[in-house]
């Protein structure tokens, strides 16, 4: 429930103007939140000049007053930071600290979600990585075998992936430490699940930025997501919540490679109307 401290409220109406679901009105010169159409987005908390609005549903200790010195970010620096990021597949044999994993997840937690659904969940795998690897390689091998056994014009483009997955599985079975072409011996995995793929993807994008800011590296394993979808053993092992789907799988660790510059990309495909 959203609450207004009427002693602090000065009746400026800023919360009313910024309330998208129109759940706030002025009542005798004070803001009144009806808590009917409100979906707890928190805009009223953020915009109030007198800090007069709170909620008893979330932890108000999360709220931080804006400070230009610690909140502002140079646009060119941010763009260069984005351009310089690289997908990492070489990792040091070094544990990722709990504090850094928590900060990566915090970046996801504060990412916007549609209708403030906040439906994104996070599964951190470290101790169970060997089990997860075995299940995933087995799933990819089966997917590959099924594709090759039932080739059609529609599935023909996936033939090369089928052969790749089978070879990855065989190599891993022969020497797991030397042939981990799925998680690349990284020390940690964060699996992002959500009701909405868009919400999970947005959170993952911010999490990647935080990962790089912390001096870590990551890559998104599409092969894992493909292997996990519809695989009961993997879903049960991870404990994926009912009605949620795996959106991304972030392989995380300290990079064992140093890049010296950005790389080129295709020109932007832009239509101006």
How would you classify residue 30: left for phi > 0, otherwise alpha for psi between -120 and 50, otherwise beta? beta
Last residue of a domain, one of 39, 62, 85: 62
Residue 161's alpha-carbon distances to 15, 111, 171, in angstroms, are 53, 33, 15
In a domain, 228, yes or no: yes
Query: Within 13 A of 115's CA, how many CA atoms are on the CB side?
Result: 5
* Residue 148 shares a structural domain with residue 30: no
Could you tell me if 53 and 33 are in contact, meaning their C-beta atoms sit under 8 angstroms apart? Answer: yes
Residues 95 and 39 in one domain: no
For residue 263, the model assigns a pLDDT of: 97
Confidence (pLDDT) at 118: 97
Residues 139, 212, single domain; the answer is yes
Residues 27 and 139 in one domain: no
pLDDT tens profile 162-206: 999 999 999 999 999 999 999 999 999 999 999 999 999 999 999
User: Could you tell me if 18 and 151 lie in one domain?
Assistant: no
Residue 68 included in any domain: no
Q: Are residues 165 and 114 in the same domain?
A: yes
From residue 133, alpha-carbon distances to 126, 140, 206, 229 in Å are 11, 11, 26, 15
Residues in the chain: 273
What's the confidence (pLDDT) of residue 78?
A: 97
Q: Tell me, what's the pLDDT at 151? A: 92
Domain that holds residue 199: 73-273
Residues 148 and 198 in one domain: yes
Mean pLDDT, each 10-residue run in order, the chain (273 residues): 97 98 97 97 98 96 96 97 97 98 98 97 97 98 96 92 97 96 97 98 98 98 96 97 96 98 97 97
Kindly state whether residue 246 falls inside one of the protein's structural domains. Answer: yes
Residue 67 belongs to a domain: no
Q: Is residue 93 in some structural domain?
A: yes
pLDDT of residue 102: 98
Closest CA to 215 of 81, 109, 121, 124: 81
- pLDDT score, position 40: 96
- Show the tokens assigned to 37: 């159409």
pTM attached to this predicted model: 0.94
Q: Does one domain contain both 7 and 83?
A: no
């Amino acid at each position: 429930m959203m609450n207004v401290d009427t002693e602090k409220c000065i009746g400026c109406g800023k919360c009313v103007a910024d309330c998208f679901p129109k759940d706030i009105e002025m009542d005798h010169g004070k803001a009144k939140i009806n808590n009917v159409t409100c979906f707890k987005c928190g805009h009223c908390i953020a915009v109030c000049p007198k800090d007069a609005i709170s909620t008893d549903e979330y932890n108000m200790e999360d709220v931080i007053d804006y400070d230009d010195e610690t909140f502002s970010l140079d646009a060119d620096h941010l763009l260069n930071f984005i351009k310089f990021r690289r997908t990492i597949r070489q990792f040091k044999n070094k544990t990722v600290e709990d504090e850094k994993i928590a900060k990566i997840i915090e970046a996801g937690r504060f990412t916007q979600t549609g209708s403030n659904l906040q439906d994104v969940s996070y599964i951190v795998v470290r101790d169970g990585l060997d089990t997860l690897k075995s299940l995933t390689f087995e799933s990819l091998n089966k997917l590959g075998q099924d594709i090759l056994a039932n080739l059609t014009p529609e599935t023909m483009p996936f033939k090369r992936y089928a052969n790749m997955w089978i070879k990855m599985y065989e190599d891993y079975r022969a020497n797991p430490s030397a042939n981990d072409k799925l998680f690349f011996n990284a020390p940690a995995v964060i699996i992002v699940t959500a009701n909405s793929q868009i919400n999970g993807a947005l959170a993952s994008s911010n999490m990647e930025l935080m990962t790089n800011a912390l001096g870590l590296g990551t890559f998104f394993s599409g092969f894992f997501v493909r292997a996990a979808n519809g695989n009961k053993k993997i879903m049960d092992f991870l404990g994926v919540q009912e009605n949620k789907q795996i959106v991304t799988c972030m392989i995380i660790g300290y990079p064992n490679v140093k890049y010296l510059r950005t790389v080129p990309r295709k020109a932007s495909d832009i239509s101006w109307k």
